[in-house]
A and B are shown apart, each in its own frame.
Chain A
Amino acid sequence: AQSVTQLGSHVSVSEGALVLLRCNYSSSVPPYLFWYVQYPNQGLQLLLKYTTGATLVKGINGFEAEFKKSETSFHLTKPSAHMSDAAEYFCAVRALRKLTFGTGTRLQVTL
């Protein structure tokens, strides 16, 4: 079985500040890990993914995430927040052919 825990349902940062969204997972098999972004009334857009290999993965819009097996974590970061980053972010683990999502973190970016 697999599960995802996203710490913090709401995160607020100032424009230009560091973004850190936390994700911890559990999986009975080696996981594939994903971060998706969702804008209001829209579907999910893939930001980045970890499958195998390099543990630091870079995605779109300046986001990156680091897979830490010892901590079972896959936190999402961005050095400098932009107003357009305001959205809902979902961490997901894929095992046994389907995705299991966390409950999401709403990112607010203030001036």
Chain B
Amino acid sequence: DTGVSQDPRHKITKRGQNVTFRCDPISEHNRLYWYRQTLGQGPEFLTYFQNEAQLEKSRLLSDRFSAERPKGSFSTLEIQRTEQGDSAMYLCASSVTQGAREKNTEAFFGQGTRLTVV
């Protein structure tokens, strides 16, 4: 499968625990996005990377959240001291750019990681 891969697909954790999610983008896609989707809502932008550089963070991304893309390939999203309000689907997407423009102008999404905080 050459699509965007996310791991795990489901995560149940107790409030206060830390969790980490992984995203493997499509090979050669240099741009990687994280979105959060709560029940009954559309996805909301969290952050994105161009190669290994994190270029933008939403104000939704509190200081308990951190994302990395250390070698410009896979990315991790960590949530520290989880709260019940963090329960959501976390979606990763990737795209490819050509110069300053996105070559295909579309982002390809993974299956998501569903987080439940109890």
Report yes or no: A42 in contact with B106, Cβ–Cβ below 8 A: no
Interface flag for B112 (CB, 8 Å): yes
Report yes or no: A42 in contact with B111, Cβ–Cβ below 8 A: yes
Cβ contacts under 8 Å, B45 to chain A: 98-100
Interface flag for B29 (CB, 8 Å): no
Interface flag for A61 (CB, 8 Å): no
| Interface-lining segment among B35-43, B60-68, B69-77 | B35-43
| Interface-lining segment among A12-20, A45-53, A64-72, A75-83 | A45-53
Cβ contacts under 8 Å, B35 to chain A: 99
Query: In the complex, what's the smallest C-beta–C-beta distance from B17 to chain A, in angstroms?
Result: 22
Report yes or no: B91 in contact with A103, Cβ–Cβ below 8 A: no
Question: How far does the alpha carbon of A43 sit from the alpha carbon of B29 in the complex, in Å?
Answer: 18
For B55, B108, B109, B112, the residue with the greatest tally of chain A CB atoms inside 10 Å of its CB is B109
The A interface, classified by DSSP as helix, strand, loop or mixed, is: strand
Question: How far does the alpha carbon of A99 sit from the alpha carbon of B106 in the complex, in Å?
Answer: 9
Q: What are some 30 contacts across the A-B interface (CB < 8 A)?
A: A9-B40, A41-B112, A41-B114, A43-B4, A43-B6, A43-B91, A43-B109, A43-B110, A43-B111, A43-B112, A44-B43, A44-B91, A46-B108, A49-B105, A51-B105, A90-B43, A94-B105, A97-B31, A97-B48, A98-B56, A99-B33, A99-B43, A99-B45, A99-B107, A100-B45, A101-B43, A103-B40, A103-B41, A104-B41, A104-B42
